[in-house]
A and B are shown apart, each in its own frame.
Chain A
């Protein structure tokens, strides 16, 4: 695509004094929406079909396809004769995502954005030159940023919104129209550009054609009064548009902060590898959109529509159930990734999704992909230079996901001690180390040292011989080395709790010393008073 070079920008800067409106227009918008996810088709003739098979008709086509003779309205049977022509089914969801991306692009430059049409955005640039440079530079950067989001656009800057819209629809690339030269620059554009699809406008267009008016210059040259007598106020309005001297106020749009991308597949996917390829594209687009709004994300939601089945929505994962008497629909598979910190790295997200899908495969071929990100403010800058080392959040998330793949979910993380006297009263939780605040060296104090216990999970059942109520001999089938006369025993330490609930517990604890092959082992022996069993709970070490 062609952007303005520096010499042209300098020339325009000298000739432009006041030019506050810009318009971004996406030619062949349905085609561009599909090309965002399939950029390899950009150089090929591509037609977008709409309708139910077998009555599909061409809805839109790119320039290569139009050169090959494809026009909107042709049937699928007709265009199948064109060699090298690719055709895809129209995706309303992908068009919505492309439109949202276009709005993000515009809002990254100006807060005053008008959502004129799905393929057209108008923005007010008043005051923006102090932030982003001169208007030609802003126009060039707008086109570049839209291109980064996967959209090839026309950008025009003019003194009023309608002139900017006409120029964006009529001229390719970046166009800058100085104030006072609107009529001159718009003159060569065809008069069909004024037709907005309404029936009245189409009738006016036919009238212009019969009068021999082909471009805007001809329309602008008509006498005002005579035109008003024949076509009324609508004709006068179109003439003002052609002259570029109409002015109006923008209607600002405030789109919700929703970041979602879609792909509707032509055929079901059965392997994770091609799915990862598509997810990579979606994540790139999502991260680019978040970056344009200076945001990051802390939650990624992946929803896959699966082929053949019954629908049952469940945020925790796939849940399939048959609903008798209801028409069969497609089932959905959902996964949600919660991140401890706001991140914005598509490669990290992709790897996390890959690891998650490997651990929780969808279980059926995939026909539609929906990926959404919950926007949050990015985490503030860098930590201090002299603070203790801390893992990078992106790397740490990947490492935790990989470790969970090795040892199993729920077996890696940090600890939380529960408020209970029950033995092993703890639970695992997500590991998210706090940012170090300041270096504080602890002065070691040997008085605080604790005799550690090594817990046997699960506790080993043992056979205990008692003499006068005290254990004197122990035999453990699970731990062969723990068998012999008890050299010393202390206890019991009696405790109980939760007796008011079903899972009540009561136990006696003994500390024992057993002679082993090479050394003396110190163990904690527990008698379950409710179950009557003897258990070896752990060893002191």
Chain B
């Protein structure tokens, strides 16, 4: 009967390292000689990750709070319905398009209002708007095989707007060249938004790393977790718009409209060097606009 040894006999007999005057140096020398480990560096020689370039968010108060939005990183803004997330989004979009950067908006629920964007001075020539939702039906399938038909049929049936948005975002980030990519998950129910696998967020974060793209996500509650370099929470702090109560006799009825919102922003998480020690907030005011 013969047995196979788990260790090569010659390797076991050979001494790992001979006794030398400077054993660590010898180990590093041996490690460096190995082909697979040729890139091993001492911890003291590791390069420090450079700080990301910060760009303006378009709101003075938010810039003072966060230092801007980091390029090559994921920025997440969360808040409930009517908390001011979209107003912040428009401000970011307006300033990015005015910097002549190509921007993309992945609109998961198809809720983007062009009139609000136009009033916020968004340059539409530099904005790509992808409206997720129900895709177009395909009628002519005669030139495809039966398997292709079935595969495509089931893929389309199973594809939700969130899945569409993830695929579209993948394509946009891999395409490159966009200065700002926005994913609007603001109307996606929380239980669905939290089902987005963490690997997707890691993939997005990895795709924009070392690029000049700002990935901006708005959600109802934090979803990207540790992938977000900057996590902001917004909420309507003061309903100053409601103080604008006209008198029924002196003011025409149509003057009784929403005038402005006072929105407060809070940093929940930041990987930036200027991370505040305590909870820091900033407030800004937005004004409503109306067609006609």
Q: Which residues of A contact B (CB under 8 A)?
A: 270-272, 318, 357, 359-365, 387-392, 395-396, 398-400, 402-403, 406-417, 421, 423-426, 428, 431, 433-434, 436-437, 439-442, 444-446, 448-457, 488, 490-495, 509, 511, 513, 516, 518-523, 538-541
Q: Which residues of B contact A523 (CB under 8 A)?
A: 82
What is the chain B residue whose CB lies nearest that of A400? B128
A90 vs B42: C-alpha distance when bound (angstroms): 72
Which of A389, A395, A416, A421 meets B179, CB within 8 Å? A389
CB distance from B190 to the nearest CB of A (A): 10
A390 vs B119: C-alpha distance when bound (angstroms): 25
CB distance from B71 to the nearest CB of A (A): 10
A414 vs B97: C-alpha distance when bound (angstroms): 12
If A399-B172, A428-B129, A541-B186 touch, whether A417 touches B114 (CB-CB below 8 Å) is yes
CB distance from B285 to the nearest CB of A (A): 7
Most A CB within 10 A of own CB, among B127, B171, B284 = B171
A149 vs B24: C-alpha distance when bound (angstroms): 64
Q: Which residues of B contact A318 (CB under 8 A)?
A: 140
If A454-B111, A495-B291, A540-B258 touch, whether A441 touches B99 (CB-CB below 8 Å) is yes
Q: By the criterion CB–CB under 8 Å, are B242 and A403 in contact?
A: no
Chain B contact-residue range equals 35 or more
Which of B111, B131, B144, B175 meets A399, CB within 8 Å? B175
Q: By the criterion CB–CB under 8 Å, are A521 and B87 in contact?
A: no
Q: By the criterion CB–CB under 8 Å, are B87 and A451 in contact?
A: yes
Within 242-269 of B, Cβ neighbours of A (below 8 Å) are at 242, 253-254, 256-258, 260-261
A409 vs B177: C-alpha distance when bound (angstroms): 23
Within 135-165 of B, Cβ neighbours of A (below 8 Å) are at 135-136, 138, 140-145, 159, 164
Which of A398, A399, A434, A454 meets B125, CB within 8 Å? A434
A488 vs B243: C-alpha distance when bound (angstroms): 11
Which of A359, A417, A456, A541 meets B82, CB within 8 Å? A541
A359 vs B139: C-alpha distance when bound (angstroms): 9
Q: By the criterion CB–CB under 8 Å, are B187 and A454 in contact?
A: yes
Q: By the criterion CB–CB under 8 Å, are A449 and B85 in contact?
A: no
Q: By the criterion CB–CB under 8 Å, are A413 and B177 in contact?
A: no
Q: By the criterion CB–CB under 8 Å, are B125 and A414 in contact?
A: yes
What is the chain B residue whose CB lies nearest that of A450? B120
The answer to whether the Cβ of B134 comes within 8 Å of any Cβ in the partner chain is yes
The answer to whether the Cβ of B59 comes within 8 Å of any Cβ in the partner chain is yes
Q: Which residues of A contact B236 (CB under 8 A)?
A: 520
Q: Which residues of A contact B129 (CB under 8 A)?
A: 412-415, 428
CB distance from A524 to the nearest CB of B (A): 9
Q: By the criterion CB–CB under 8 Å, are B145 and A491 in contact?
A: no
Which of A414, A423, A516 meets B291, CB within 8 Å? A423
Q: What would be 19 A-B contacts, judged by CB atoms less than 8 Å apart? A: A361-B141, A363-B140, A365-B143, A387-B100, A392-B175, A414-B129, A417-B118, A433-B102, A446-B285, A449-B91, A450-B288, A451-B87, A451-B289, A452-B120, A452-B286, A454-B112, A454-B113, A493-B290, A541-B84
Q: By the criterion CB–CB under 8 Å, are A403 and B171 in contact?
A: yes
Q: By the criterion CB–CB under 8 Å, are B86 and A454 in contact?
A: yes
CB distance from A466 to the nearest CB of B (A): 14
CB distance from A350 to the nearest CB of B (A): 17
CB distance from A188 to the nearest CB of B (A): 56
Q: By the criterion CB–CB under 8 Å, are B80 and A452 in contact?
A: no
Q: By the criterion CB–CB under 8 Å, are B83 and A541 in contact?
A: yes
CB distance from B210 to the nearest CB of A (A): 13
Q: Which residues of B contact A491 (CB under 8 A)?
A: 253-254, 256-257
